Amino acid sequence: MVVVRRKSPCMDKAQKGKFRMKIALLISSMHSNEGVRGCGMQRAATSLAEGWVANGHEVTIVTFAPEGTACTFSLDQRVQVRQLDLNRPVSNSLKAAIRLVHDALSIRRALAEIRPHVAVTFGDQTSILTLLGGLFFGVPVIVAERTHPLHYELGRVMGVLRKLLYPWAAAHVAQSEDIAQWYLNNMRVSNVAVIPNTIASPEFLRTPSDKAVKTVIGVGMLAEVKGFPFLINAFAAIASNHPSWQLIIYGEGPDMQALIDLSKKCGVGDRVVLKGWVDDLKRQMSEADMFVLTSRTEGFPNALGEALACGLPAVAFDCPSGPADIIRHGIDGYLVPPGDVEKLALRMNCLMEDRALREEFSASAGDVVERFSLESILERWDLLFDSVRQK
């Protein structure tokens, strides 16, 4: 098993008399093919696991990846990792049904060996398999989906299984209020807690600058869901008013060439740069002047939180879900109706033409670290664990 471990830098907070829990955290994989740049779920799992062991709990991460798959992030040496080699592709419906039962039983056996007080599941298919394998087993399961379920198709069979199995979960964790409301309205569940991701203190902070060229940035996979055509069209609409500004988009994906062609068609091909992924994204953020998010849907937009943490003023579509939980409209950024390019351009223009306003928003943006600190998020999880244990 290839797992790089490290001692957590944070000080342990375990106290005498505090109940020491055994937590199983189940996730499809702790590896991302895009490395540290495209793994919000793995990043969140790492942060929680390390926070829990620092607070005195015992944590085992259970993944469906093959034995020996490397973790994208190094882990605290006290976090255990088990790799079950599940969820392999199959060629027909019968084999899929057999695989489903096999995987569920494998998870059940793993839980029997770990004997956790609670199992936390990340992702829809992981949650379904764990609930199926854990039926009548006595281990409470907390389902923590990382996207908005309304906007991601599971397929007919898995969709039916989700409807049947989710009410059996001990609790559900949503990353925003509107996702929580979706659960309550659609899944016949009652115990739903809103617990977002953590936002860490930044490695680099933005500082005011008189540089000649100023930069708007966007970050994310170059795919339809991220809505980058909206951003390019909005920038093109106001570019002639701001000749010293450029737009840089960080990310890779299937829409790369289409976005390059669109920027040329809009007459801003020489001022829109698609840089792909970079290893020093947070440094690049700290050197930019504005962050814009134009996603059609999100779960919890980590890049937006990281940009604010660096001190970047932001403009974001008020899409489902997350931006409205992160941006304080008129304080550290602006929220714009989803898909409204005209209003997006208007808000971007306001910040581009007014340095004092940018600096005012920048001064407030860093508060996001306190609002979404690891300590506050762990406290919410502890309250949820207590409520589940008392059932």
Residues 269 and 179 in one domain: no
Mind listing the pLDDT tens digit for each residue in 349-386? 999 999 999 999 999 999 999 999 999 999 999 999 99
Could you tell me if residue 206 is inside a domain? no
Q: Given this model, what pLDDT does residue 92 score?
A: 80
Rounded to 5°, the CA angle 208-213-218 comes to: 85
Residues 180 and 320 in one domain: no
Residues 10 and 54 in one domain: yes
Q: Given this model, what pLDDT does residue 208 score?
A: 78
Residues 40 and 105 in one domain: yes
Which of the pair, 30 or 87, is modelled with greater confidence? 30
pTM of this prediction exceeds 0.75: yes
Q: Given this model, what pLDDT does residue 9 score?
A: 39
Domain total in the chain: 2
With 50 as the cut, is the pLDDT of residue 12 above it? no
Mind listing the pLDDT tens digit for each residue in 89-142? 777 888 888 899 999 999 999 999 999 999 999 999 999 999 999 988 889 999
Could you tell me if residue 204 is inside a domain? no
Q: Given this model, what pLDDT does residue 344 score?
A: 98
Could you tell me if residue 207 is inside a domain? no
Q: How confident is the model at residue 33 (pLDDT cuts 50, 70, 90)?
A: low
**263-272: average pLDDT:** 98
Q: Given this model, what pLDDT does residue 128 score?
A: 95
Mind listing the pLDDT tens digit for each residue in 171-196? 999 998 888 998 999 888 989 999 99
What is the share, in percent, of the chain residues with pLDDT greater than 90? Answer: 69
Could you tell me if residue 203 is inside a domain? no
Q: Distance between CA 83 and CA 28 in Å, rounded?
A: 9
Residues 163 and 241 in one domain: no
Could you tell me if residue 316 is inside a domain? yes
Residues 366 and 383 in one domain: no
Provide the domain limits for residue 105.
Answer: 5-198+373-389
Domain CATH number, residue 166: 3.40.50.2000
Could you tell me if residue 208 is inside a domain? no
Residues 158 and 230 in one domain: no
Residues 343 and 382 in one domain: no
With 50 as the cut, is the pLDDT of residue 4 above it? no
With 80 as the cut, is the pLDDT of residue 7 above it? no
Residues 353 and 381 in one domain: no
Residues 132 and 234 in one domain: no
Residues 188 and 228 in one domain: no
Could you tell me if residue 336 is inside a domain? yes
Kindly report the average pLDDT of the chain as a whole number. Answer: 90
Q: Given this model, what pLDDT does residue 32 score?
A: 67
Q: Given this model, what pLDDT does residue 17 score?
A: 52
Residues 360 and 218 in one domain: yes
Could you tell me if residue 121 is inside a domain? yes
With 80 as the cut, is the pLDDT of residue 204 above it? yes
What is the share, in percent, of the chain residues with pLDDT greater than 70? Answer: 93
